[in-house]
Structure 1
């Protein structure tokens, strides 16, 4: 069914394009109704566990971003990511299933090749129609519902949460949904979103009221997120030159148990700040604190770092802290140090350097260390990961 859906959408888009094609005037290039951009990345990953064999993995990650504009108010967008994976991780249990997993209503992910030597996966993570009027707007399909105020942890992100350690997926995941928005004035709107699920117990819907007060963006939201009724809010502003943001969401389960797992009412909240020192090196510092009143325990570090997160499961301990510091080595090179600490004694340390090789080429090198005290989640399987990533954009 999903293949027919994708094929139909592209046929419709192509038909509109053919209808609107006009003869070119010599010496004058007409304005395009469409854009096609993307990139190709190659990344090599070295895993160095303290207890176990070292691993080496390769990833070729290619992306298309396509937009067709039927008019100034109506457009179609599609984003497709293609990945070729090879290396030692292919032998890990359920690795193939994790790569092919698609949490949307429509399964738009396929492992085209899946064997002991290679996995080739294709997935549409953006596929939607967008309409914007003077005061009303609407969107339907697969897209990112971006209600976040924070930049690290987002308790208000009820639809497409992500791991702070996944640096190779800058677009972030999308969700299958339909939304309607009404502009109410300056920096003020009312938004409604409905996201279906084949399991009716897991459907999601919510409303958000966003407004600005004395230079502060403030939002309030309520609805249902799967097994929980939710109410939350967020804010973002500035205090003496420092950015200051916060989000909170209260999760109240309407089912106390589901598929053998029990759920309790839970408060998830996060607050963060950042400050740019400017200057020739463009120093910037950021810090964040996350609180979960009833965290769900992770089975092990590999599961926690691999499986998709939700706004309920952003961490496995009550309190989690994060900080990073970045500066420009040169105008073409930026260095960032980051770290997080969990209440059970687990910690993460990261170092990264991005270097602009040219207008279209970028080199990124990353070191990640997961460790902790005896008995902590990361401390049970301490390891170091090394990444080298080269990217060409078009």
Structure 2
């Protein structure tokens, strides 16, 4: 049934994309009640470990974003990502299981081809209905619950945590949930979210109050996130032209142990700032510090960088720092250097350049270096990764 549904979605999506609605009177084309956008991109990845064989991987990543508007207040959205993977990483243990993994209540991810030479995977990461009234808004399905104030680490993001090193998935994962929101005034609202799980121990629900005070956006939230009762808050504003943001969440586990993993009361907080220096090169810098009072130790670097994160596991050390600086080489080319440092002596350095080849084509090249002191997590298996990514958007 799932395969029939995916096949039907492909056919319907292709039909919508191929059909062009033309008005009989020039300049009076009727407004469409649907949109179909997306992209196709190819990425080559070269892995150069300090101790081991070099690897080469290939990824073709295609995406559909579809929206149908039943009325001005009611719409349907679907986002589907299709990936073809080939290369040396396919031989890694549990690699195909990681590619096919779906953490939602509904399993909307499938490997249609899975062998030693190729994996072809399709996944719906957006599939929801949205209703908006004058003051009320409701949404049901799979979507992104974005309660973050920060742009790097998000302790308040109880539903959609992600790795800061994953640049290829700009949409970020979604979650299966039901939400209800009400506007209370200028930049003020109250939001409720419930996200079920087949394991009742891991269900999530929370409420947030968002408001503005003297030009500063602020929020407080409370609820349950899996094995934890949570209370948190965040703020965002500016000081003398520099952006200044912060988030803090208190995790109080109602189970001290689950599936062999022990849990302790934990504070996760992060403060960050950014500043635009302007000028012809459009210099912009960011910096952030993350604190976790009781971090969970990672098994190894590969596991930490591959498995999904939660707002509890944004890092594996108490203190972690991050900074980046970007500028325009030309109006069509932007260069960014970034780095992070962990308390155990692990560090990351990244270089990236995005170049606009045309209105619909973009070239992205990235270098990532994971290393560290002897005995540190990244230092145990230092490596360099090289990426070349070309993308066509439609």
CA distance in 1, matches of 2:7, 2:139: 20
Give the superposition deviation at 1:26. 4.0
Per the alignment, do residues 121 and 11 of structure 1 end up closer, same or farther by CA in structure 2, a change over 3 Å counting?
A: closer
Equivalent position of 2:104 in the other structure? 104
Equivalent position of 2:70 in the other structure? 70
Could you say what secondary structure the match of 1:304 adopts? helix
Q: TM-score, normalised by structure 2?
A: 0.95
Could you say what secondary structure the match of 2:247 adopts? strand
CA distance in 2, matches of 1:159, 1:23: 42
Equivalent position of 1:88 in the other structure? 88
Matched-pair contact (CA < 8 Å) for 1:2–1:106: no
In the alignment, structure 2 segments of 5+ residues that lack a partner are none
Matched-pair contact (CA < 8 Å) for 2:22–2:29: no
1:244-280, Cα deviation, whole Å (9 max, x unpaired): 0000000000001111111000000000000000000
In the alignment, structure 1 segments of 5+ residues that lack a partner are none
Give the superposition deviation at 1:216. 0.2
Matched-pair contact (CA < 8 Å) for 1:2–1:107: no
Equivalent position of 1:255 in the other structure? 255
Give the superposition deviation at 1:282. 0.3
Equivalent position of 1:167 in the other structure? 167
1:101-132, Cα deviation, whole Å (9 max, x unpaired): 00000000000100000000000000000000
Give the superposition deviation at 1:369. 0.1
Matched-pair contact (CA < 8 Å) for 1:287–1:324: yes
| Matches for 1:1-394 after TM superposition, within 5 Å | 25-27=24-26, 28-394=28-394
Could you say what secondary structure the match of 2:378 adopts? helix
Per the alignment, do residues 260 and 81 of structure 1 end up closer, same or farther by CA in structure 2, a change over 3 Å counting?
A: same
Q: TM-score, normalised by structure 1?
A: 0.95
Per the alignment, do residues 60 and 12 of structure 1 end up closer, same or farther by CA in structure 2, a change over 3 Å counting?
A: closer
Q: Work out the number of aligned pairs and report it.
A: 388
Could you say what secondary structure the match of 1:53 adopts? coil
1:12-52, Cα deviation, whole Å (9 max, x unpaired): 99xxx9xxxx9954433211000000000000000000000
CA distance in 2, matches of 1:80, 1:112: 15
CA distance in 1, matches of 2:322, 2:9: 42
Per the alignment, do residues 6 and 216 of structure 1 end up closer, same or farther by CA in structure 2, a change over 3 Å counting?
A: farther
